[in-house]
Amino acid sequence: MTTALRVPEELSARVPAEQRGKGLDRDAVRLLVSRGTEVSHHGFAELPCLLRAGDLLIVNTSSTLAAAVDGRIGHARVVVHFSTRGDDGRWAVEVRDPDGRGTTRARAGGPAGTEVRLPGGVRLVLEESLTGRSPRLWWGRVSEPGGHAPEPEGRAPEGPMPEADVLGLLGRHGRPIRYSYTDRDQPLSAYQTVFALPAADGAGSAEMPSAARPFTARLVAALVSRGVQFAPVTLHTGVASAEAHEPPYPERFAVPEASARLINAARAGDGRVVAVGTTAVRAVESATGADGVVRASEGWTDLVVTPERGVRVVDGLLTGLHEPEASHLLMLEAVAGRAAIDRGYEAALRGRYLWHEFGDVHLILPEEAPHTEHCASNCR
């Protein structure tokens, strides 16, 4: 993080907002708003009053998978987090140790050839480190019961398990990835956003694109009524364990033609382009040329948005509150500048905002002079 701030453990959101009191919905979280270095405090339900006609929200439609599955290495119990499917049918996976409290703790992956026994007789064999820099994530190949054994040492296996069967394994035996700051397991539905759509190939995110979690159908209708538009994109997120301080690795994304046109039209007018989540930033910036024009695009992106690279099309960002060491903070700095992010996080800590996927959110907007037409008080 850009500041030396530390996040106290008690500021972790342990359950979803709707479970914190009777009658609460997902939008019952707090909203910190930064306009340059100016900070104000709101409820998330006030979002329609903070945006204006012509603004455009870029939302990620990736659905969340039940990506955590129990397994065994020898006699030892482990939990496998399935992250990303590669083009060769292998999966990027993270093997973790159960902590006895329903969550997991970090475990070094490998070595190559390590076999993990999964439910139903399915086998996973670790083949090589994903990046060569971290022991955490590995490429692994999965085989069905009775199928040909995958070969270690990176050799092509005979009869690898098709993707659909891995997704079937997750559907039968998986559960959402859960971290130790949460109180208890939640159903998969708690990890889906209102924008989530099932992909035709069954693909999805290992972890929820959580910035959009507080949106409800009612709030979306209020935003549409105010003249705010939505541009859907897709980016399937990989695992982002709390222990890791790594840059993001390549992820699949898609920006459809209709969304590219909407974003370019908003920029041609006076609307602000606000990404809902760092995943939406990565997707749309990957589809934006050096000329600032967004074009329909899909595939893998290894883009890392930093202050040095900057952003080409995003004016603002709605995002959760990130750990001080998270690489996402560099993206926030690219959008708003270091001083604005430092000021916002200092205010969030003083205001006792809640961190992580079930926590409060932060709306980062460009600095602008007060304007009667744009004033939030117009909503009252």
User: Could you report the per-residue pLDDT of 269-298, keeping only the tens digit for each?
Assistant: 989 999 999 999 999 999 999 999 999 999
Report pLDDT digits (tens) over 197-210: 999 888 999 999 99
Report pLDDT digits (tens) over 29-69: 999 999 999 999 999 999 999 999 999 999 999 999 999 99
330/304 Cα distance (integer angstroms): 9
Confidence (pLDDT) at 282 = 97
Report pLDDT digits (tens) over 252-266: 999 999 999 999 999
C-alpha to C-alpha distances, 132 to 92, 194, 246, nearest whole angstrom: 13, 37, 12
- Single out the residue of 28, 283, 63 nearest to residue 195, CA to CA: 63
So what's the architecture of 9-64+187-365 in CATH? 3-Layer(aba) Sandwich (3.40)
Q: Residue 155: is its pLDDT beyond 50?
A: no
Report pLDDT digits (tens) over 219-235: 999 999 999 999 999 99
More confident residue, 341 or 367: 341
β partners of residue 99: none
pTM over 0.85: yes
Contact between residue 64 and residue 205 where contact means Cβ atoms under 8 Å apart = yes
Q: Residue 148: is its pLDDT beyond 70?
A: no
Compute the average pLDDT of residues 324-331. 79
195/58 Cα distance (integer angstroms): 11
| Non-local CB neighbours of 204 within 8 Å, separated by 6+ positions | 62, 63, 64, 65, 198, 236
- Single out the residue of 236, 244, 209, 208 nearest to residue 109, CA to CA: 244
- Single out the residue of 188, 197, 194 nearest to residue 216, CA to CA: 194
User: Three-state SS across 309-362?
Assistant: CCCCCCCEEEEECCCCCCCHHHHHHHHHCHHHHHHHHHHHHHCCCCECCCCCEE
Per-position b or e across 60-80, b if 16+ CB within 10 A of its CB: bbbbbbbbbbbbebeeeebbb
Residue 245 pLDDT class (50, 70, 90 cuts):
low
Contact between residue 311 and residue 334 where contact means Cβ atoms under 8 Å apart = yes
197/184 Cα distance (integer angstroms): 26
Tokens of 39: 């900070």
Q: Is the N-terminal amide bond of 111 cis, ω within 30° of 0?
A: yes
